[in-house]
Amino acid sequence: MILTADSTVALNTSRRKTANGWLTTFIGKNRNTLQEGEAMPSAEGIYPMAFLVEKEGAAVVHPHFHAADQYQVIVQGSGRLGIHDIASVAVHYTDAYSAYGPIIAAGEGVSWFTLRNAWDPGARYMPAARQQLREARAKFQHREATCGPLPPLTDQELAALTAPTGGAVIAETADGLGTWRYTVPANGSITGPDPSSGGGQFWLVSSGSAAVTGGALLPAQSCVFVAPDDAAAFLLAGPAGADLICMQFPKRARD
C-alpha cells in the first residue's frame, strides 16, 4: 500500500521540541513518538519511517550508526556530514551498521528528513558502540552513497519545463539501491522505477506539488512511501509542475 504524508498537515500537527532539536513525524513511529509502555514495532519486515529533524546553528550530532538502512535528505540550511558539505537537496544513504558523522550545522542551522524502511530503536554512538559495530560486520557491509546538493527548481524553472525528465543521481546497484530525480511540467506525469527491484521507495516533493493515483496534491517537502510489492508509482504534477526525488532501498533478506 502506498503511503503519503502532506508536509503542511505534518508540520501543523506533529512538530514537537525534543532534547535534540525539533522533530516532525511524517510516516510511522519512532523512538520519540512511542507512548510509555507501548511495544516497539517488529524489527523484521518492512516498516517505513519518515521524520524531519531541525537543528539550530552550530549544533553537532556525534558519529553513530543505526540498525536499519537509512536515507537522510537535507532540505534546508547547510553544514557538514562527515567529509561531505551538505545543503538542500543533498541525499546521503548508509547501510545498517554503517557509522557516519559527525553532522555539524552551519550558522543558519540545518534540517533533514530521515527515511527508513525498517524499524530502528535509535542511534548507537561511537566509540561506545564500537564492539557492536564490529560484530555486525559478519552480516552488514559498510556502505555510504551520496549525491547533491540538487537545489530545488524555482517557480520560474518549473514554469519553463516543457516535458518530463528523469535520471539516476545515485546509480542503481545490483541489490537495488538507487536514487532518481524527476522534473515534471505543470499537469504532466511520470512513472517511477519498479519497486520490486529494491526494498521500498521514498519519494520527496522537492518543489512544486504532485499527487499519486487517487490522492490529493502534496506540497513541497511532502513524502510518499512505495512498498516493494506495490506497482510502480505514477505521479501527476500540480499546476506549477514538480521536482521529485525517488530513493530506493536495497533488498534485504527479511523474516
What pLDDT score was predicted for residue 57? 93
Supply the pLDDT for residue 18: 87
Give span(s): CATH 2.60.120.10, the chain. Answer: 7-147, 155-248
Q: How many residues does the chain have?
A: 255
Is the predicted pLDDT of residue 150 greater than 50, yes or no? Answer: yes
- 255: pLDDT strictly greater than 50: no
In three-state form (DSSP H/G/I as H, E/B as E, the rest C), the secondary structure along 124-139 is EECCCCHHHHHHHCCC
The CATH number of the domain covering residues in 7-147: 2.60.120.10
Is CATH 2.60.120.10 correct for 155-248? yes
Cα 144 → chain centroid: 14
pLDDT digits (tens, 9 = 90+) for 222-251: 999 999 999 999 999 999 999 999 999 999
C-alpha distances (whole Å) from 80 to each of 101, 106, 110, 139 are 8, 8, 9, 29
Instruction: Supply the pTM of this predicted model.
Output: 0.95
